[in-house]
Structure 1
Amino acid sequence: MNKPLQNSTSWSDTLKTRKAHLNSLLKTMNAVPGKTSQTEALAIKAIKAEIAHIDSQLNRRK
């Protein structure tokens, strides 16, 4: 049987950290001037969907 780590972070903290990371990626991608390619647009859409999913998970844990 596996023992849980004593200093492991909570799942909520992990989700908050992931959300912060995704938000910083969005800021980086949106900072590029000019038109975005179709691939970049799809990546931005996927990141926003992941952030929405994380928000729903965090709201469910409250």
Structure 2
Amino acid sequence: MNATTQSKISYSDTLKARKAHLNGLINLVKPRRGGATKIETMTISAINAEISIIEQQLKKRG
């Protein structure tokens, strides 16, 4: 049998990719015109909180 190949992605690279993904989501949720709805505001706030946690984890690792 063939052994399965596992990727060798570091945890730091995973965090950086997640941060980039979340930044992309913010661009999708950001209101184009007018004010943001409560849902949009809460979503952006939650995404920013997650990005902040990721940045703290990256600082600890590097």
Question: What interval of TM-score do these two structures reach, taking the shorter chain for normalisation?
Answer: 0.7 to 0.9
Following TM superposition, where does structure 1 have runs of at least 4 consecutive aligned residues deviating by more than 6 angstroms?
none
Counterparts of 1:20 and 1:40, CA distance in 2: 19
Output one character per residue of 1:6-60: Cα deviation in whole Å (capped at 9) or x when no partner: 4231100000000000001112222522221111100000000000000000000
Counterparts of 1:33 and 1:18, CA distance in 2: 27
Change (3 A) 1:31 1:37: closer
Which AA in structure 1 matches 2:19?
K
Using the size of structure 1 for normalisation, the TM-score is 0.82
Bigger radius of gyration, 1 or 2?
2
Counterparts of 1:12 and 1:23, CA distance in 2: 17
Which AA in structure 2 matches 1:32?
R
Matched residue of 1:33: which SS? coil
Gaps of 5+ in 1: none
1:23-62 alignment runs, 5 A limit: 23-62=23-62
Pairs aligned (count): 58
| Residue in 1 that maps onto 2:11 | 11
Using the size of structure 2 for normalisation, the TM-score is 0.82
